[in-house]
Structure 1
Amino acid sequence: MMMLSLASLCLLATVAFAVPAQEKRIHHQADLSDHAHDDSHGFQYDHEAFLGKEEAKTFDQLTPEESKDKLAKIVDRIDIDKDGYINHSELHYWIKHRQRRYIEENVNKHWNEYDKNQDGKIAWEEYKNTTYGFYLGEDFDDIEDKATYKNMLNRDERRFKTADRDGDGIATREEFTAFLHPEEFDYMRDVVVQETVEDIDKNGDGKVNIDEYIGDMYTPENGEKEPDWVQTERKHFSEFRDTNKDGYLDGSEVAHWVLPGEVDHADNEAKHLIHETDTDKDGRLTLSELLDKRDYIITSTITDYGGMRVDEHDEL
């Protein structure tokens, strides 16, 4: 099944300033990759959960011997009890750890960009002026698609105000984390759902129909036959997503879809990775097994949660 990506709304290439790389549409613990989880079309799903997105790019440029050495170091970090095997709990813990580490690093990166007066807080005005300030005075008039940027500004302000729990217009580090990663905070739930509907709802009726649902995941090429996974998603829409069977997903149905309660996707990814690479089916992985599935590990993706650097000071 292909879940919606965590990707940001793409910026126009002609704009000189950089809107931060926060998730403009967020899903609570969505599939841990921005690729379709489709094993029949290569391995681009499972690489990043094990290695991380940035580290995955590095692996693609290493020699076989270099990648073997790098992978061995990562396996050694995951193997907490040092018995020479990676079991499910160790892999699950590693993926969860990298998720937390990614969020921490992402917040730290943006915090330094926006806390201009270095007072340990980020005011909405600081964020707005840093992100959009160059064009605010001109009301985006020099931008070809100024409506898009006005919408982005309004969306950022709405999300910022929701994250700002005490309403003082200033984000603490926890509130700024909720702004950048609303999927991690229960009180941001309504924003996550609202942004998702806005992104997918092309006709503006406040609901998601089957064409909008599929269109957000898949755009056919001329003459291309619809893949099997798309047919599966059509069934999921009608049989599971559209609970009241009215042909649309309303806010509550979207919430059930993108915020599925206590589903542990890191756990699911650990199980999936073991299933795909555990050659002797003993429920655990060895370095040898991972090397045997080197293409699966090194040329594919699992998570969008950042680089899996082998850092001796990175406490598990």
Structure 2
Amino acid sequence: MQLLFLGTLALLVGVTFAVPAQEKRVHRQPDLSDHDHDDAHGYQYDHEAFLGKEEAKTFDQLSPEESKERLGKIVDRIDTDKDGFISHIELHHWIKHRQRRYIEENVDKHWKEYDQNKDGKIAWTEYKNTTYGFYTDEEFNDVEEKVRYKAMLTRDERRFKSADRDGDGLATREEFTAFLHPEEYDHMKDIVIQETIEDIDKNGDGKINLQEYIGDMFSAEDGEEDEPDWVTKEKKHFSEIRDINKDGFLDASEVAQWILPGDVDHADNEARHLIHETDKNDDDKITKKEILANWNMFVGSQATNYGEDLTKRHDEL
């Protein structure tokens, strides 16, 4: 599920008043890749972890020669101390950097739109007026529309104030990044948990029951009797894993364990994995030569994808 953290980026104004569309805001720990990490069936997970999801798509279109050439240049960038070796620290830093790139690009995309007075900061009033406009109670078409509008406005203001650590009503670039991507910041975790519960908790009791948990992910179509296997599996996860105290509900602490597992560093695990698979002399660091000898694990190309397609087809036969 792709995570979206703004209710809207612009207010649609036409003949009739329109409230910004409420988008799903259930927060999940971002994954390095959408693919399963199973090297026996291909290296797409490793490619997306090492390059970033968008850059991995570019490499998929390259020839093996072009892919190796670009990989060599990337290795030179990763080797920040220029000692000829890629250490775990250097590789871990690179993977973290690639995963944050989409966040930085998202902030770049919206910064100019919201910094109306070009002072290098974004005031709450600038964000509010750009996103929600200047509307009075009389301009709403109905009560439900008005309630939804005010709830969204209140929610964004609450998050903005949490991101605004010095409380001056102005978001620096770092604070605005925390506002857009709260799952990346420890001091925003309470907001992430609160918003997640609000998204899923339909009866307003402040916790999530099994029906709400499943209903957020799956809605049976009319006439559909059998639920998919993954829904059955998620129900089991709810009862056996998510609901730690076995009271039939997910409270705030259990939601935190679900969406923000703080003891897992996927970038660190991937850095260790790549070094383990590539380091032939067991010195816990890898050379450019070792990386290029295993280039298809780090990056893709038309050739490696063709090979993976053949493997997939063979498995399906």
1:1-316 to 2 correspondences below 5 Å: 5-8=2-5, 24-27=25-28, 30-33=30-33, 35=34, 37=36, 39=38, 45-80=45-80, 86-100=86-100, 102-133=102-133, 151-214=151-214, 216=216, 226-227=229-230, 234-273=235-274, 278=278, 286-291=291-296, 295=300
> Which whole-Å deviations, capped at 9, do the CAs of 1:211-263 have from their partners, x for residues lacking one?
54455556799778525xx6665554333321211122111211233233353
Equivalent in the alignment of 2:313? none
Residue 155 (structure 1) shift: 2.5
1:208 maps to amino acid = I
Q: Tell me if structure 2 keeps the 8 A contact 1:43–1:296.
A: no
**What is the rounded CA distance, in whole Å, between the counterparts of 1:139 and 1:123 in structure 2?**
25
Residues 71, 148 of structure 1: alpha-carbon distance in 2 compared, 3 angstrom cutoff: farther
The 3 A distance-change label for structure 1 pair 149 and 293 is: same
The number of residues matched between the two structures is: 287
Cα offset for 1:38?
Answer: 5.7
2: distance between equivalents of 1:85 and 1:225? Answer: 48
List gaps (5 residues or longer) in structure 2: 306-317
Letter in 1 for 2:174: E
Asked if the contact 2:92–2:271 (Cα under 8 Å) also holds between the matched residues in 1, the reply is yes
Structure 1: any 5+ residue segments left out of the alignment?
Answer: 300-316
Q: Report the structure, 1 or 2, having the larger helix content.
A: 2
CA shift for structure 1 position 192: 0.6
3-state SS of 1:96 partner = helix
Match of 2:310 in 1: none
Tell me if the contact between 1:197 and 1:207 (Cα under 8 Å) persists in the aligned partners: yes
1:194 to partner: Cα distance: 1.0
Letter in 2 for 1:226: D
Q: Deviations over 1:175-200 (max 9, x none)?
A: 32321222233332221101112233
Decide whether aligned partners of structure 1 residues 138 and 207 sit closer, same or farther in structure 2, where only a CA change above 3 A counts.
Answer: same
Change (3 A) 1:86 1:253: same
Q: 2:112 is paired with a residue of what secondary structure? A: helix
TM-score, L = length of structure 2? 0.68
CA deviation after TM superposition for structure 1 residue 11, in Å: 6.7
Deviations 1:141-186 (A, max 9, x none): 59xx887666544332221122234444332333323212222333
**Secondary structure at 2:206 match in 1:** coil
**Are residues 292 and 111 of structure 1, via their aligned partners in 2, closer, same or farther at CA, if it must alter by over 3 Å?**
closer
Q: CA RMSD in A?
A: 4.5
Name which structure has the greater RCO, CA cutoff 8 Å, separation 6+. 1
Distance 2:278 2:301 in 1: 12
Q: Decide whether the 8 Å contact of 2:61 with 2:301 is kept in 1.
A: no
Q: Which has the larger radius of gyration?
A: 2
In 1, the alpha carbon distance for the partners of 2:197 and 2:44 equals: 27
